[in-house]
Amino acid sequence: MFIIIASNFVLSILFAQTVFHINLYLLFSTFFTKKVCYRPELLLIYCKIAADICYSFTVSIMKSYFLVILCYKHLAVKNLSIYMLETSVTMGIIKGTFAFMITLERFISVFFPIHYRNNRRKIPFYWIIIPILGHILFDHFIMFCFCGNVREVPLDCDNFQCTFNKCYQRFWETRDQVVFSLIEIMSVLFFVRLYIWKRTSRRLSKVTQIALLDSLIYLFFNVIPIILYSHFSPTSVKVNYPPITISRNAGSVIESIILWRLLKAKKKVTPNKYISGNL
C-alpha cells in the first residue's frame, strides 16, 4: 500500500514538473527570447498555458507535501492540506474555463463566421475575467456555504476525500463532467462542420488545431477517467490512490509537447490552401 501511494505521488510530481517546465519555457521563448513567434490570435491559448503553469506548480507542491507527510508524519502541518487542495481546485477551474472559452470561440467562428469576424475585436480582453471569477466564486459558494465544508481537517489528511465532504465531491465530479462534455460536444460539432459538412481539405489555423487537440486530451485523460472514477472506483481506490491527478497531468504532458511542436513550427503559407483565421 505504501509503495502504491508513494508511487502515485511521485508520478504526479514528475508529470506536473514536466508540464511546468515545458510551458514555462514555451512562454519564455514567446515573450522574451522571441524564439517562438507571437500570434495575437493565440492570446487565449497563452492564457491557458499560463494557467497550466500555475496549476502544475500547485499540484507538484501539494503532492510533494503529501509525499513528505506520508514518510514523516511528524512534519504534517495542521489544515495545510485543505489550503493546498483549495488552491489546486481553483487553478484547475481557471485552466478548465480557458479551455472552454477557446473551444467556444472556435465553435462560434466556424458556425457564425461573419458575426465572429465583425464582433471579435469589439470584445475587451479583460471581459474574460468575468466568467473566470464567476466560476471561482460559485465553486467556493458550493464548497463552503452550500456543502458546509470548513477549513478544519485531520492532521495527516493527504487526499481529496478527507478534505471535502461527499456533497462537494459529487459537485466536483458533476461539474467537471459537464464542462468537459460541453467541450467535447462543441468540438465534435465544429469538426463535423469542417470535415464532413463543408468537406474542406484546407489547412486549419493554429487555434483550431489546438482546440481540437484540447478536446482529445480532455476526452481521454479527463472525461473518461472521471466517469470511471465516479461510477466504478471502489472507496479504497478513491482514498488511497486516486488516479485523476495522474491522468490529468499525463494528458497535460502530452498536450504540452504537441503544443510546443505546433507553436514553434515555422508558418508556411501555401496559396489557395491555407484556411482563413476564423477557422
State residue 214's pLDDT score.
86
In this predicted structure, what is the pLDDT of residue 221?
Answer: 87
In the CATH scheme, what is the code of domain 2-257? 1.20.1070.10
Which range is most confident: 21-25, 68-72, 106-110, 159-163?
21-25
Q: What pLDDT shows up at residue 1?
A: 73
The answer to whether residues 245 and 14 touch, using CB atoms and an 8 Å cutoff, is no
pLDDT tens per residue, range 204-249:
778 888 888 888 888 888 888 877 776 665 555 544 445 677 888 8
User: Beta partners for 203?
Assistant: 274
Task: Identify the weakest region by mean pLDDT among 159-168, 170-179, 190-199, 234-243.
Answer: 234-243
Number of other residues whose CB lies within 10 A of the CB of residue 137? 10
Tell whether the model's pLDDT for residue 271 goes beyond 80. Answer: no
b/e per residue 30-43 (b: at least 16 CB within 10 A): beeeeebeebeebe
Q: What is the mean pLDDT of residues 25-39?
A: 92
Residue-wise pLDDT tens digits, 189-206: 888 887 766 555 556 778
Give 275's pLDDT tier (boundaries 50, 70, 90). Answer: very low
Residue 229 half-sphere exposure toward CB, CA atoms < 13 A: 26
Per-residue pLDDT at 273: 41
Average per-residue pLDDT for the chain: 84
| Lowest mean pLDDT, pick from 68-72, 201-205, 257-261 | 201-205
pLDDT of 272 over the 50 cut: no
Domain ranges of the chain: 2-257
Q: Is the pTM of this model over 0.95?
A: no
Among 47, 180, 44, 205, residue whose Cα is nearest residue 120: 44
